[in-house]
Structure 1
Amino acid sequence: MKKLLLSFFVGISMAVSAQQSCPVIPLPADFKEVAGSFELSERSTIVFDQPNLAPLAHYLQKELLKHKNLSLNIGQKKSASTISLKISTKKTAGTEAYELDMKPEAITISAHDHNGLFNGVSTFLQLVRQSATSSLSCWKITDAPKYAWRGMMLDESRYFFGKEKVKQLMDWMAFYKLNRFHWHLTDQPGWRIDIKKYPKLTLIGGIGNYFNPFAPAKYYSQDDINEIVQYAAERYIQVIPEIDMPGHATAANMAYPEYSGGGSEKHPEFTFNPGKEATYQYLTNILKETDVLFPSQMIHIGGDEVAFGNKKWNNDPDVQQLMKTKGLKDLKAVEYYFIKRMADSIAKINNKMLAWDEVAEAELESKNTIVFWWRHDRPNTLKTALHKGYAVVICPRIPLYFDFVQDASDVSGRRWSAGEYSPIEKVYAFSPGQIVETAGHEKQIMGIQANLWTETVNSNQRLDYLLFPRISALAEAAWTADVKKDFSDFQLRLKNHLEQFKAAGIYYYNNKKTNPEPIPKKLSVSYLD
C-alpha cells in the first residue's frame, strides 16, 4: 500500500479510467464535455438575474482576480462572453443542486437556491484554476450533493492557529463544497472565545496550550469571530461553535473555580459542578453570548468523556443533594440531568443542541438534537441514537479523525488499538451506508465530518500535513454517490490539486523525500478515549 501511495504522490503514470472523467473534486453527478472553448478575458462580464445575487457575483469577480489576475466587470445585461448567475424555477433537482452550462459564447450557472448557485460557482472556479490558460474547455454539468452536512472540525483549544489560518481553511472548504465548520473553541488546555460577561475566561483560561501550559493567552475577540463568521457566510459555510461541558472544562475552571465540579489527578478541575444552580445560569449566560455571535442556530456542547473526571461528584454536597432531590441514582443520571438542563437553555434561545454520541441515552428531544457518532468501536451507540430518532452526523475515528496517521512510517499521530490508521484511500472509500446500523435510517444521516484534534499539531505546517490532501477525499466521500466513486480516477484528478496546494504554500502530505513529516517536539500524548 505504501508503495502504491508513493507512486501516486510522485506522479508516476497510471492507467486512465476507460470512462472519461470530469476534472473536478468532488466528482459531479452528471457531466459531459462539449465542443469548443470559452475564452475568459477582461472582456467577459458577470451578470445576474436578481439583485440579491450581487454578493455572489462579487465573490466570483474577486476569485477570478485572485487566481487569474483578470478583472471582470459586473453588469446586468447579457453580451458576448458572459458568465450568467441565475436562480432557476426548476424544483426537481433538490437543495444545493446546480447546473453549469459552458458554451463558447457564454456560461450559465443556475440553481433553485443560493447554496446551489454557490456550488456551481465553486465547480466553475475549479475548472478555471486548473486550466493553464484562459481558454476553458466547455462542460455541461448537472450536480447535487449526496449529503447536506459536509463538515470539518478544527480543535483550537489545544493549539491556537489564528484567524488567517482559519480563513485559509475556509477557502479550501469552499473550493471543495464543504459547508459546515465545527469550531472546537474550549477544552482542557485553553478557552478561545471572548465572553464579555466573564472576561477571565480568556484572560486566564486563554493561557497555555497542549504543548506549553504557560504560553501567553490567545483567543478570538468578538470582532474576530464576527469577521470569520462573515467570511464563512460569503462562502456558504455555517460555523458551529463548541462550548465543551460538563467535562473538558479545565480552562474555564481555572478562570472561575466557583463553578468547578472537580476532576482527577490526571485531569484536574475537569468538570463543571452540576449540583450548583449558579452553574446553570453561568453556562446559560455564556451560551446566550455565543448565540449572538453565531447565526447558525446550532451550538455544540461536547458532552463527551465526563466519566474521566467526575468522581469528585460522589463527595460533593451540592451534587449529593441534587441526586437526593431529583431521585438521580448514579453519576450517569447526574450527567444526563445536566445535559437536559443545558438542552433546555439552548432551546430557549432558538438553537439546536449538538453533542457527541455519549448523549444518545439522555432522552433528549430528538427534533432539537443532533448527535455526532465518533466512537467507531461502539456501533451500538449509533444504533441507539438512530432508534431514538436523532439526526446523526457520522464522524468515526477511523477513518475521519485526521489526527490519525496516514502512512505506516509516520512518527507522530494516532493509531488505534491494532495499529489501524487513516490513509487517504480509507477516507475516500468511507460511506455511512457501509455501517449496518444505518440501514432503514438513511434519512436521519445528515452527512459526514472529519475532525482534527491537535494534541500533535503545533504549527501551520503540521496542520497542513494532516489536512491535505485528505480533505479532498473527504469532499468526494461527502458529495459523490458511492456508485460514481473510483479511487484510481480520483488520484488522476487530484494531481492538479497537489500543484495548487504547492502554489498556495500548503505543506501537504506527499513523498517524504520532498515533504518530510513535521514532527512536534512533544511526542508523549495521552488520549482519554
Structure 2
Amino acid sequence: MKPIFLSILMWACCLQLHAQQACPVIPLPAQSSRANGEMVLNEEVVILTKDNSLQVLATYLSHELQRRFNITNAEKSRASGKVTVIALERGKAGANPDAYTLRMTKAGATITAGSPQGVFNGITTLLQLAETTMPTGTSRHIPCWNITDAPRYAWRGFMLDESRFFFGKEKVKSILDWMAFYKLNRFHWHLTDAPGWRLEIKKYPLLTTVGGIGNHTDPKAPAAFYTQDDIREIVAYAKERFIEVIPEIDMPGHASAANRAYPAFDGGGTEKYPSFTFNPGKEGTYQYLADILKETASLFPSGMIHLGGDEVSFGNKAWDTDTAVISLIKAKGFVNRKQVEDYFFQRMADTVFSLRNKVMAWDEIATATLPANKTIVCWWRQEKPENLKMALGKGYSVIICPRLPFYFDFVQDSTHKTGRKWKAGEYNNLKSVYEFSVAGLPAVKGYERQVLGVQACLWSETISNAKRLDFLLFPRITAFAEAAWTQPASRNFPKFIERLKPQMELFEQARLYYYDYFAPSRHVESGNPTDQKSFID
C-alpha cells in the first residue's frame, strides 16, 4: 500500500503545483490551468485548418515559427513520423471577437475562436509560451496549458508621435510586432504637428518636401516622411496582425509645419508658438483641409481619423487681429475664441463624416456639438475630470489615455533626469501603469459602456534616436498591455514582476535598448538632458 500512497501523494502535489503556477503569458489570460506534459516544438510541426478563412493565419503562424525558431515548412503535412499538430479552428461566434481558447497536449495544440482575430490572439499566446521556454538543442519543450481568454477592453491602443522625431518604416513595423505580441490592437499614428509633416499628400506636395523638414531638436533636419506606398505597406502589415491604424491630422492648432509649406492658410500664432493655427476665417482653409482628409481617408481603412483639436489656445491669439477671423466672429455672433475653435472643428468633423469615417479628437472637443455615434474623445488631461464627464454626458465614446500614468515620455524612475514629470514631481513608473483602473475615475460611473478602452501615448520631444524610444517603451508596454486586457481583480503586481523576468531576455535577444527593471544599470538613461522639464500645461 505504501507505493500506492506515495504515488497518490506525488500526484496530488503535482496537481497543487500546477494549480499554483501562474501562466507565464503577458497579458495574463482570463482563465488558465496547467495541463499534463509538454508539447515539443521542432521541425516536426504541422499546422492544420479546415476553415479557408483561417488559412492566412496558418501562413502567419508558419512564418513566425520560421522567424522566431527557425522551423520551416510547418504548413506542409508529413506522410509519416511522429509530429506535433497545431490546429486552428473556427468556433461559434460570441459577443467578444477577441476571445479564444487554447488547449495543449503532448500531441499538439488546438486554438479555437469565433473570429479570425480571436484565433490570432490564441496564436500570440502560443508563441509567447514558446518564446519563454528555454530551447533544448533545436527543440522547445513547452509546458502544456489550457486557456480560456478574452480581454477587458476592445480598444487597447498605443500612440506614436513621429512629427517631433521620425523613426521610419522598419521601426514602426517592429513596434507593431511587439504590439501584436502583447495583444494591443489600435495604433494611433500622430503624423502631423508643429515640427514636421510626415504624410505624403499628392495634391499638396510641399507639405512633405517643405513641411517635412526638421524635427523637435533640429529644425533643419532633412525632410522625412512616409510616401503613400509606405503607408499602404505599413497599414497592410498592421492588418496582418489585427491592428487598426488611425491617422492623426492635427488641427486647428499644431499646424506650423503645414503653414510653412502653404502660408496662405496660416491663422497665426504667438512668439513662442509661431504660425501655430490654421485660419478658421478663410473659406479656402476648409477646402484645403478637406482635400487632405480625402487623401488620408483613402489610405487608412480603419474608418476613423483623429483631428487633434488640442491646445489651440497656445497659439490662437492672432485670431483677435486677423481680418478674416474678425469677419467670421461678427457674422456668427461669437464672443470668444473657443466658439471659433468649436465652429472650425464642427465643420472639419462634417468633412470626416462625409468620408464615412468617425472623428477622434483630444478632450478639448468635448465642448463641441457632434453626433454621439460618430465621435470618439481621447481623455488625456487627468487634471480635468470635468472634460471626461462632459464627453460621457454628451454620449461620446471615450478612450482613456491620461498623462498620469499612460504618457510614456514621462520618466519611469526617480533617478532619471531626461524627460517629463508632472508639476508635483510625479512620473509614470511600471507599477503605476500596471495598477491603473478606469473604475477609479468617478466620472465613469454609470457610463462604463461608453468607454471603448485605454491607450498609452509616446510623444517624442525627448527622443532623438531609436534607443531612446526603446528605453521609454520597454518594459512599460507589458504593464500597459495587462492593464488593458486583464480584469483588475486578476492583476497582482508582484506576480506580474515574476512573469516579466523572461520578457527581459526577449528584449535582450531583440537588441532593444530597454530599461531593465531588475538591473537598472544595464542600460543607462539615454536622451537629451537639455529636454528635461516638468509638464505642467
Report TM bin, short chain.
over 0.9
Post-superposition shift, 1:245?
Answer: 0.1
Q: Give yes or no for contact 1:97–1:116 (8 Å, CA) kept in 2.
A: yes
- Seen in structure 2, the aligned counterparts of structure 1 residues 527 and 253 have a Cα distance that, compared at 3 Å, is farther
Q: In terms of mean alpha carbon deviation, does 18-27 or 161-170 score higher?
A: 18-27
Q: Give yes or no for contact 1:305–1:528 (8 Å, CA) kept in 2.
A: no
Q: Give yes or no for contact 2:417–2:529 (8 Å, CA) kept in 1.
A: no
**Which of 74, 90, 98 is the equivalent residue of 1:87?**
90
Q: Give yes or no for contact 2:378–2:399 (8 Å, CA) kept in 1.
A: yes
SS at match of 2:142: strand
Within the alignment, does 1:316 sit opposite 2:329 as a pair?
no
1:382-422 deviation line (CA, Å, top 9, x unaligned) = 11111111100000000000000111110101111110101
SS at match of 1:73: coil
Post-superposition shift, 1:315?
Answer: 1.1
SS at match of 1:415: strand
Normalising by structure 2, we get a TM-score of 0.93
- Measure, in 2, the Cα distance between the counterparts of 1:242 and 1:163: 17
Post-superposition shift, 1:32?
Answer: 0.6
Q: How does 1:156-171 map to 2 (within 5 A)?
A: 156-171=162-177
| RMSD after superposition | 1.7
Post-superposition shift, 1:519?
Answer: 2.7
- Measure, in 1, the Cα distance between the counterparts of 2:281 and 2:98: 45
Post-superposition shift, 1:274?
Answer: 0.4
- Measure, in 2, the Cα distance between the counterparts of 1:492 and 1:381: 38
Q: Give yes or no for contact 1:395–1:449 (8 Å, CA) kept in 2.
A: yes
- Measure, in 1, the Cα distance between the counterparts of 2:124 and 2:196: 35
Between Structure 1 and Structure 2, how many residues are aligned?
513
- Measure, in 1, the Cα distance between the counterparts of 2:477 and 2:149: 20
- Measure, in 2, the Cα distance between the counterparts of 1:528 and 1:198: 36
1:43: which partner in 2? 44
Q: In terms of mean alpha carbon deviation, does 469-478 or 328-337 score higher?
A: 328-337
1:22-57 deviation line (CA, Å, top 9, x unaligned) = 000000000111111112222211111221212211
Q: How does 1:281-296 map to 2 (within 5 A)?
A: 281-296=287-302
1:170-190 deviation line (CA, Å, top 9, x unaligned) = 010000000000000000000
Within the alignment, does 1:173 sit opposite 2:179 as a pair?
yes
- Measure, in 1, the Cα distance between the counterparts of 2:355 and 2:521: 53
SS at match of 1:34: strand
Q: Which amino acid aligns with 2:442?
A: V
Within the alignment, does 1:113 sit opposite 2:121 as a pair?
no
Q: In terms of mean alpha carbon deviation, does 293-302 or 46-55 score higher?
A: 46-55
Post-superposition shift, 1:504?
Answer: 0.3
Q: Give yes or no for contact 1:152–1:178 (8 Å, CA) kept in 2.
A: yes
Within the alignment, does 1:347 sit opposite 2:353 as a pair?
yes
SS at match of 2:421: coil
- Measure, in 2, the Cα distance between the counterparts of 1:355 and 1:235: 25
1:4: which partner in 2? none
- Seen in structure 2, the aligned counterparts of structure 1 residues 17 and 109 have a Cα distance that, compared at 3 Å, is closer
- Measure, in 2, the Cα distance between the counterparts of 1:396 and 1:478: 14
- Measure, in 2, the Cα distance between the counterparts of 1:77 and 1:391: 50
- Measure, in 2, the Cα distance between the counterparts of 1:227 and 1:490: 35
Within the alignment, does 1:462 sit opposite 2:468 as a pair?
yes
- Measure, in 1, the Cα distance between the counterparts of 2:383 and 2:509: 39
1:466-496 deviation line (CA, Å, top 9, x unaligned) = 0000000000000000000000110000000
Within the alignment, does 1:475 sit opposite 2:481 as a pair?
yes
- Measure, in 2, the Cα distance between the counterparts of 1:95 and 1:105: 27
Within the alignment, does 1:216 sit opposite 2:222 as a pair?
yes
- Measure, in 2, the Cα distance between the counterparts of 1:430 and 1:326: 43
Q: How does 1:232-311 map to 2 (within 5 A)?
A: 232-311=238-317
Greater Rg by CA: 2
**Which of 424, 435, 447 is the equivalent residue of 2:430?**
424
- Seen in structure 2, the aligned counterparts of structure 1 residues 46 and 236 have a Cα distance that, compared at 3 Å, is same
- Measure, in 2, the Cα distance between the counterparts of 1:30 and 1:180: 24
Q: How does 1:350-369 map to 2 (within 5 A)?
A: 350-369=356-375
Within the alignment, does 1:60 sit opposite 2:61 as a pair?
yes
- Seen in structure 2, the aligned counterparts of structure 1 residues 528 and 349 have a Cα distance that, compared at 3 Å, is farther
2:521: which partner in 1? 513
- Measure, in 1, the Cα distance between the counterparts of 2:145 and 2:498: 18
Within the alignment, does 1:125 sit opposite 2:134 as a pair?
no
Q: Give yes or no for contact 2:418–2:532 (8 Å, CA) kept in 1.
A: no
Q: In structure 2, list runs of 5 or more residues that go unmatched.
A: 1-16
Q: In structure 1, list runs of 5 or more residues that go unmatched.
A: 1-15
**Which of 446, 449, 452 is the equivalent residue of 1:446?**
452
1:33: which partner in 2? 34
Normalising by structure 1, we get a TM-score of 0.95
Q: Which amino acid aligns with 2:61?
A: L
1:398-447 deviation line (CA, Å, top 9, x unaligned) = 00000001111101011111101010000000011111111111100111
- Measure, in 2, the Cα distance between the counterparts of 1:374 and 1:507: 27
Post-superposition shift, 1:19?
Answer: 3.5
1:278-327 deviation line (CA, Å, top 9, x unaligned) = 00000010000001111101100100010111111111111111112222
Post-superposition shift, 1:513?
Answer: 2.2
2:161: which partner in 1? 155
- Measure, in 1, the Cα distance between the counterparts of 2:131 and 2:164: 34
Q: Give yes or no for contact 1:48–1:76 (8 Å, CA) kept in 2.
A: no
1:73-125 deviation line (CA, Å, top 9, x unaligned) = 3258999521111110252x622100001111131101001111111111010
Q: Which amino acid aligns with 1:27?
A: L
- Seen in structure 2, the aligned counterparts of structure 1 residues 236 and 380 have a Cα distance that, compared at 3 Å, is same
Q: Which amino acid aligns with 1:235?
A: R
